[in-house]
Amino acid sequence: MVRILTRSDVRSLISMGEVIDAVQKAHEDLALGRADQPERHAARTPGTDAHLIPMTAALADGQAGGVKLLADVPANPARELPRQQSTIVLVNPENGVCEAFLDGGAITQYRTAAASAVATRCLARPDAHVLGLIGAGAQARSHLAAIAQVRPIDRVLVWSRTEASARAFRDAVADSGLNIELAGSPEQVVRGSDVLCTLTPAATPVVSGHWFGEGLHVNAVGAPPRRDHREIDSEGIARARVVVDSLDTALAESGAVSIALEEGAITVDHVRDELGEVLTGAKPGRRDDAQITLFNSVGVPIQDIATARILVDRARDKGIGIEISLPE
């Protein structure tokens, strides 16, 4: 039987703390060769500007394998739909039987923030307590929840292109007990933060590396997987010690990395360190309190499949979701 989990099912089952631990374990296993994640290739859809991106991964010890199909559709916001849509298929790798179909929206929101939290845990200063958010949507809320689990956050600076969005974010997290401040510009957020998360679908930079202060840690998250989109300029990439979620993915799909390379601001060696290598000790973490660090997050399927495994197991225990038989 194949279990189908809707977005509301996923939200009722998911726990940020569990996802953070699962994402960290998945990256460690990947770095140690226990898990697999082949290079992915986007398919353009003729007649539109949409890209379809199949993302495949297999967890360690035969726990699960699967595919996340990501659709990046720039025209969707005008239709009042999210720019990115996704569905996850979970498969038993021992016999090839399909276990589940899951809506990818909530999983993406949680696992993206969880990856930023894992990177923050191993790269940010231990005493970092001011969180900066550029962008005030769903990812801002999930990043606040995730980063607060790994650092003693007590103050949050947030900026959005519209003040209404920033105010809506502040209202949504009013019960967090944190000091939430609306900033007048991205520069104000960057200069005032210990940990910065960029969470916008920007095509051109909204953050200048000139603003980076000593000891800052940046999670560059929001730009879609396209080589001509970036939130952070080449100076920012060049000034920071960069860690990527996947070198192959960053070189193929990260505009921040690709454009900095094309402009000659960096070489490939500058972005060669992967998150899993830092977690396992194969590559160093933060060097000292003054170092600027940056996690370039494009998003990788090992995170999705690790999260989906937790959700499907819990859904079975709780009897949540719909079961169907595909062969019938």
Write out the catalytic residue numbers.
Answer: 68
Sign of the dihedral through C-alpha 229, 230, 231, 234: negative
Any bridge partners for residue 102, and if so which?
5, 88
Any bridge partners for residue 195, and if so which?
131, 217
Q: Residue 236: how many CA atoms within 13 Å on its side-chain side?
A: 28
- Name every residue whose Cβ is closer than 8 Å to that of residue 141 and which is 6 or more positions away in sequence: 169, 172, 173
Gyration radius from the chain CA atoms: 19
The residue type of 157 is: L
The closest of 149, 90, 82 to 115, measured between CA atoms, is 149
Q: Is 66 helix (H, G, I), strand (E, B) or coil?
A: strand
The continuous run of DSSP H or E covering 229 comes out as: none
Tokens 């379809």, located at residue: 52
